[in-house]
Amino acid sequence: MPSTVLVGAQWGDEGKGKITDLIAQDFDYVVRYQGGNNAGHTVIHGDKKLALHLIPSGIMYDTITPVIGNGVVIDPRVLVDEMAKLEAQGISCERLVISCDAHIIMPYHIDLDGASEKRLGKNKIGTTRRGIGPCYQDKFSRIGIRVQDLLDEKIFRQKLETALAEKNEILTKIYGMPGYTVDQICEEYLPYAEIIRPHMAETAHLLNRAYADGKNILFEGAQATLLDIDHGTYPFVTSSSCCAGGACIGSGVGPKKVDKVIGISKAYITRVGSGPFPTELFDETGEKLCQIGGEYGVTTGRKRRTGWFDAVIARYATDVNSLTDMALTKLDVLSAFDTIKVCVAYKADGTTYDYFPMQQSVLYPKHVEPVYEELPGWYGQDITGCRSFEELPANAQRYVTYLEELCGVPMSIVAVGPDRDQTIFRGWSSK
């Protein structure tokens, strides 16, 4: 019966794919509940390395039913392509279930995402340009097109006609771009419908019945706490509810059915795209973190911005997600440093903050000065072979327990490399 929400505790790319894959075997269902193919989750499973964008990371196990929930936005072009790539690697997608209430990303959403970023110029969000924001915009304006609309060509055409009447005006008159015809989109999208149709289901019903039957459910978050539309660094966020509460909205499973919430944090921190980043390093230390950590985006290939671990953010993530556990990833990357800094508070304009400040302007370099604790490192010691906490160098153990004290939740998983087995369990239990 236990169910767990897994959520990014920073700005994304914390290693959610690896940890999902790692703990998935305890679950019967793995559910994506928000976001779309802006996500890039890396799963290394034996000799297979996968970058998953839409399909839940539990796809690797044939005992698991992977579910794309109602809160996800689906680009059918990407979905069909991802399914084909998995099948080509011998991973069956037959069990994949897709909510008929999920919204569909249309070609004009992608155009509008790019055009809006161009218009914003230096104030751009730095989106993945996958059409995510414009698709959610239509969902909340109640003019979106859902997966179930693909079941009936007449309805699909009608909805498309209504949407295009507005979108073509915006594309052609505001942005000087070409518009679309209903036929043009139907020609591309209706064949996708044939591939998706056997996977469509009432997923809220399915998951609630599964829960009642004593099945275990894992909700796999995409993006992260600080990219959440409400709790993130708005407007430099994504357009969905990435936090743990989003798992209920994006799946139709109520909060009383969530037993555990595990937050994923890197042993340092990264961010892709624009927006404030108090511990960002602009020097060679930041560059070293980037190179050793291989910090390049899985979806867009963009270089990630890097910085020291920020405990103010970790505490905030603990609060807004009700974390019961934390998984710390990429501890091995810190073997390259003599000493390691941890931000325990911010100083800005004469005030010290040990909590996330109300006014976001405080978080910009002009104001913020991170208050660091400097800890001795375990320079040059390869920890990628450690499989128990006791095998870690004393200073690495101290680093983990220090972060644990700062966050206020147990660090029950510590990752020391990208592979599945490069992991230390410190009391994680899905029960």
List the catalytic residues: 13, 41
Question: Judged by CB, which is closer to ligand IMO: 297, or 410?
Answer: 297
Cis peptide upstream of residue 107 (ω within 30 degrees of 0): no
The owner of tokens 């915009």 is: 137
Question: Judged by CB, which is closer to Mg ion: 2, or 35?
Answer: 35
Selected binder of ligand GDP within 180, 417, 424, 428 (CB under 6 A) = 417
Pairing status of strand 97-99 against strand 200-201: parallel
Pairing status of strand 423-425 against strand 411-415: antiparallel
Question: Judged by CB, which is closer to ligand IMO: 250, or 273?
Answer: 273
Binding mask 27-56 for ligand GDP (x = CB under 6 A): -------------xxx-x------------
Contacts of residue 303, Cβ cutoff 8 Å, sequence gap at least 6: 290, 295, 296, 297
For the bound state, the minimum distance from the C-beta of residue 23 to ligand IMO, rounded and expressed in Å, comes to: 17
CA dist 225 and 116 (Å) reads 24
Instruction: Strands of 168-225 (E only): list them.
Output: 200-201, 217-220
Selected binder of ligand IMO within 126, 179, 276, 410 (CB under 6 A) = 126
CA dist 14 and 6 (Å) reads 11
Contacts of residue 346, Cβ cutoff 8 Å, sequence gap at least 6: 278, 312, 352, 353, 357, 362, 363, 368, 369, 370, 371
Binding mask 201-220 for ligand GDP (x = CB under 6 A): --------------------
Per-residue CA distances from 59 to 45, 107, 115 (Å): 11, 27, 34
CA dist 349 and 345 (Å) reads 13
N-to-C CA span, the chain: 8
For the bound state, the minimum distance from the C-beta of residue 352 to ligand GDP, rounded and expressed in Å, comes to: 31
CA dist 404 and 386 (Å) reads 19
User: Looking only at residues 292 through 321 of this chain, which bind ligand GDP when binding is defined by CB under 6 A?
Assistant: 294, 298
Instruction: Quote the tokens at residue 60.
Output: 């690797």
Selected binder of ligand GDP within 11, 14, 200, 218 (CB under 6 A) = 14
From ligand IMO, ligand GDP, Mg ion, none, which one binds at residue 70 (CB under 5 to 8 Å depending on kind)?
Answer: none
Selected binder of ligand GDP within 2, 7, 13, 269 (CB under 6 A) = 13
Residue 422 interacts with ligand IMO (CB under 6 A): yes or no = no
From Mg ion, ligand GDP, ligand IMO, none, which one binds at residue 15 (CB under 5 to 8 Å depending on kind)?
Answer: ligand GDP
Bridge partners (DSSP) listed for residue 413:
327, 425
Which of 241, 37, 57, 43 has its CA nearest to residue 128? Answer: 37
Residue 336 interacts with ligand GDP (CB under 6 A): yes or no = no
Binding mask 107-146 for ligand GDP (x = CB under 6 A): ----------------------------------------
Residue 58 interacts with ligand GDP (CB under 6 A): yes or no = no
Which of 262, 351, 355 has its CA nearest to residue 310? Answer: 355
Selected binder of ligand GDP within 15, 133, 252, 393 (CB under 6 A) = 15
User: Looking only at residues 206 through 265 of this chain, which bind ligand IMO when binding is defined by CB under 6 A?
Assistant: 222-224, 227, 236, 238-239
Helix (H) or strand (E) holding 392: none
Strand, helix or coil at 319? helix
Instruction: Quote the tokens at residue 117.
Output: 């970023």
Selected binder of ligand IMO within 272, 340, 409, 414 (CB under 6 A) = 272
Residue 40 interacts with ligand IMO (CB under 6 A): yes or no = yes
Interface contacts to ligand IMO, rule CB under 6 A:
8, 12-13, 38-41, 125-128, 130, 132-133, 222-224, 227, 236, 238-239, 272-273, 298
Interface contacts to Mg ion, rule CB under 5 A:
13, 40, 298
Interface contacts to ligand GDP, rule CB under 6 A:
8, 12-18, 40-42, 44, 294, 298, 329-330, 332-333, 415-418
